[in-house]
Amino acid sequence: MSRLKLFVPLFLFVVLAGFLIRGLQLDPREMPSALIDQPLPEFQLPVLGKNSLVQRMDVVGEVSFFNVWATWCISCRVEHPYLQMLADRGIPIYGVNYKDESAAAMQWLDQLGDPYRLSIEDVEGTLGLDLGVFGAPETYLVDAQGIIRYRHVGVVNERIWRGILQPLYQELLNEAASQ
Amino acid sequence: MINSRGIAHSIRSILCTLLLLSCANVSYAVIETYEFSSSSLEQRYRQLSVELRCPKCQNQNIADSNAPIAQDLRKLLYKQLEAGASDEEILDYMVSRYGEFVRYKPRFSGVTLMLWLMPVALLLGAIIILFSVLRGSRKEEAAGGISAEEQRQLDKLLENDT
Which positions in chain B touch A34 (Cβ < 8 Å)? 95-99
Structural domains of chain A sorted by starting position, each given as residue range(s) with its CATH number in brackets: 35-178 (3.40.30.10)
Name the percent of chain B lying above pLDDT 90: 26
Which residues 48-67 of B have a C-beta within 8 angstroms of A? 55-56, 58, 67
Residue B22 confidence (pLDDT): 63
CA A145 vs CA A62, A149, B88: distances in Å: 7, 10, 31
Amino acid A122: pLDDT: 93
Nearest to B96 among A34, A133, A134 (CB): A34
pLDDT per residue as tens digits for the range B108-117:
887 788 888 9
Asked whether this complex has an ipTM greater than 0.90, the answer is no
pLDDT, one tens digit per residue, over A101-147 is 999 999 999 999 999 999 999 998 899 989 989 888 999 999 999 99
Checking B65-71 for CB contacts under 8 A at 24+ apart, the result is B66/B29, B66/B31, B67/A135, B68/A99, B68/A125, B69/A133, B69/A134, B69/A135, B71/B31, B71/B32
> Chain B closest CA to A91's CA: distance in Å?
27
CA A60 – CA A63 distance, rounded (Å) = 8
Residue from A36, A134, A148 whose CB has the most chain B CBs within 10 Å, to mutate: A134
Using the 3D structure, point to which of B84, B102, B120 is the last residue of a domain: B102
B98 and B116, same domain (yes or no): no
> Do B44 and B96 belong together in one domain?
yes
Q: Residue B97 is part of which domain span?
A: 39-102
Pair B87, B44 in one domain: yes
Tell me: do B87 and B135 sit in the same domain: no
Distance from C-alpha of A38 to C-alpha of B8, rounded to nearest angstrom: 56
Name which of B56, B76, B97 is nearest A34 (Cβ-Cβ): B97
Residue pairs between chains A and B whose CB atoms are closer than 8 Å: 32
Contacts of A123 (CB under 8 A, 6+ apart): A99, A100, A102
- Whether residue B9 lies inside any domain: the answer is no
pLDDT(A158) > 60: yes
Q: Side by side, which strands form the sheet with A93-98?
A: A119-122, A93-98, A64-69, A138-142, A148-153
CATH number of the domain to which B47 belongs: 1.10.8.640
User: How much of chain B, in percent, has pLDDT values that exceed 70?
Assistant: 78
Look at residue A88 and tell me whether its pLDDT is greater than 90: yes
- Count of alpha carbons within 13 angstroms of residue B111, beta-carbon side: 5
**Pairwise CA distance, residues A132 & A126, whole Å:** 10
Instruction: Give the pLDDT confidence score for residue B23 in this predicted structure.
Output: 55
Q: How many domains does chain B have?
A: 2
Rounded to whole angstroms, the Cα distance separating B81 from B41 reads 7
Please report the pLDDT score of residue A63 as a whole number.
95
- In the chain, the amino acid numbered A142 is V
Q: Are residues B114 and B151 in the same domain?
A: yes
In a domain, B31, yes or no: no
Q: Which of A129, A138, A151, A153 to mutate to test the interface with B (most CBs of B within 10 A)?
A: A129
Question: CB A129 to CB B58 under 8 A?
Answer: no
From chain B, the residues in CB contact with A43 under 8 A are none
Q: Are A116 and A93 in contact (CB under 8 A)?
A: yes
Are residues B133 and B84 located together in one domain of the fold? no
Same domain, B97 and B125: no
**Cα–Cα dist B20/B16, whole Å:** 6
pLDDT at residue number A65: 96
Is the residue at B4 inside a domain? no
Angle (nearest 5°) at CA A134 between A34 and A101: 135
Q: Does A34 touch chain B (CB under 8 A)?
A: yes
Residues 6+ apart with CB under 8 A from B44: B81, B87
Interface residue B45 vs chain A (CB under 8 A): no
B75 and B95 belong to one structural domain = yes
pLDDT at A117: 95
**One domain for residues B45 and B92:** yes
B87, B102, B117: which is the final residue of a domain? B102
* Residue B93 domain flag: yes
- Contact residues, chain B, for A130 at CB < 8 Å: 97
**Residue B21 confidence (pLDDT):** 63
Predicted confidence (pLDDT) per residue in B17-66, tens digit: 766 666 554 445 555 778 888 889 999 999 999 999 888 887 889 988 88
Domain boundary among B85, B102, B119: B102
DSSP assignments along A25-37, one per residue:
HS-TT----TTTT
Q: Flag whether B139 is in a domain.
A: yes
User: In this complex, do A134 and B55 lie within 8 Å of one another by their Cβ atoms?
Assistant: yes
CA pair distance A154, A134, nearest whole angstrom: 11
Q: Give yes or no: residues B121 and B87 share one domain.
A: no
Which chain B residues touch A33 with a CB distance below 8 Å?
99
**Residues B89 and B141 both lie in one domain:** no
pLDDT given at position B1: 46
In a domain, B116, yes or no: yes
Say yes or no to pLDDT of A82 above 70.
yes
Locate the chain B residue with the closest alpha carbon to A135. Answer: B56
To the nearest whole angstrom, how far is the Cα of A94 from the nearest Cα of chain B?
21
Same domain, residue pair B46 and B98: yes
A126: nearest CA in chain B?
Answer: B72
Test the A interface: residue of B62, B72, B139 with most A CBs within 10 Å: B72
- Tens digits of residue pLDDT in A10-65: 999 999 999 999 988 887 777 777 888 999 999 999 999 998 999 999 999 999 99
B34 in any annotated domain: no
Structural contact between residues A101 and A129, judged by C-beta atoms closer than 8 angstroms: no
